[in-house]
Amino acid sequence: MDMMIWNAALSLVIGIVSWVLREKAAELARVTILLNKTREEIAKEYMTKLEVHADINRVMNRLEVLEAKIDRLIESNRMRGV
């Protein structure tokens, strides 16, 4: 009789633990899916380092052209005596 009660108690404990672990595994799978979706959304909204550097280089090149034009304008005004 003792053995049957022990088996029943052990079966009950193992059943509860299995049910809890199954719920935790399902929650982990759900969180993993949400994390993957979040990573995809972040990739759509933000720029990579290479894109940022390319844009900064374009702006810097344009500023250098403008700087050269301003220098030429200043020089031409000096030569005219303005």
The domain limits of the chain are: 1-46, 47-82
Q: Which residues of 23-51 are buried (b: 16+ CB within 10 A; e: fewer)?
A: eeeeeeeeeeeeeeeeeeeeeeeeeeeee
Residue at token pair 């959304």? 41
Q: What are the E-state strand segments in the chain? A: none
> Per-residue confidence of the chain (82 residues) as pLDDT tens digits?
788 888 989 999 999 999 989 999 999 999 999 999 988 888 777 888 999 999 999 999 999 999 999 999 999 988 887 6
Task: Tell me the pTM.
Answer: 0.46
